Amino acid sequence: MATKVEKDKSQKNVSIPVTKTGSKKVSKPIKETPSKNEQPVVVESEVTKEELQSTIEKLTLQLEQTNMQLDQFAHITSHELQEPLRKIIIFSKILLQNKTKLKTQEVKKYLEKIGSSSVRLRKLIEEMLNFATVTNYEKLLVKTDLNEILKCTLFDFELLIEEKKAEVIAHELPEVEAVPFQIGQLFYDIIHNSLKFSKVDVAPVIEITSRKLTKKDMKSHVNLDANLCYYEITFQDNGIGFNQKYAEQIFTMFQRLSSGGEYPGTGIGLAICKKVVQNYHGEIFAEGLEDKGAAIHILLPVAQPKKLPDDIPTILKTWV
């Protein structure tokens, strides 16, 4: 590849012997007395196949990450932002349709719920915009209380939990270094699946537990970083379950085990969950038994490994 370079009149490009790196030639400019008729010179350089292939792979990865980001924005818009909005609409209708029948305390209760849902919706939008536009990703990694994340998620599902008469049993959860917005999305998709894939005429029961992994446990998960301390968070339900042979398929983009309209969806939720967990140096897997229920296991490190500045965005590849 030839590149035309305008040289300063006080310099002349002269090729001198240098150590050969790979198959790339190097030319160095050295100062010489300029000549009156000096013309722009051409510096010859060679790009190896390896360098070209590396550039193509980087561009392909960027394209894949951009596509994933678009998928996530669409997913959040069609799911997470809908629950607070649905609550606002339903509670507003109740007030309008029963404005003469409701007591003052009841009116106050519904207005408070509308206000809380509006605040929640605004917070979700702000977090999403902040997450999409931030340039220093390290600032987003904070000590995250998973109990608070779960509390916000259950607030979003308040109406659906009430409609299905579901019972949620939440045990104490740990704190981990993470981006709260992403962990919120993770919890949302898993709990949403437990509520959606419940059995007809059977009240859903969802139990969330956690435990610290031992060194012996770590040996069973070879993809985990042995230098990190991990917690296992388990979401167990009594829903329709699934055949264990499909345990990997449920985490594949656009793959769904149910084909009918009884359980609508795109099959993108758990695929995003897997990508998020992997980017946190964690692991996610599922256990199921048909007509008995399912369990989703998430393994997350307490703290993220120290990274060089150029590597910081790696943890957020699902968005960047």
Residues 6+ apart with CB under 8 A from 26: 18
CA–CA dist 181, 136 (Å, integer): 16
Strand boundaries in 213-314, DSSP class E: 230-237, 283-289, 293-301
pLDDT over 70 (residue 255):
no
Confidence of residue 301 (pLDDT cuts 50, 70, 90): very high
Tell me if the pTM is above 0.75.
no
CA–CA dist 120, 242 (Å, integer): 33
The CATH superfamily holding the domain 134-316 is: Histidine kinase-like ATPase, C-terminal domain (3.30.565.10)
CA–CA dist 224, 227 (Å, integer): 9
Q: Where are the domains of the chain?
A: 2-46, 134-316
Confidence of residue 72 (pLDDT cuts 50, 70, 90): low
CA–CA dist 273, 300 (Å, integer): 12
Q: Of the candidates 7, 60, 49, which has an alpha carbon nearest to the alpha carbon of residue 30?
A: 7
Residue for token pair 């946190």? 280
CA–CA dist 232, 209 (Å, integer): 8
Q: Of the candidates 143, 190, 186, which has an alpha carbon nearest to the alpha carbon of residue 168?
A: 190
pLDDT tens readout for residues 230-242: 999 999 999 999 9
pLDDT tens readout for residues 194-215: 999 999 989 999 999 999 999 9
β-bridge pairing 142-145 and 167-170: unpaired
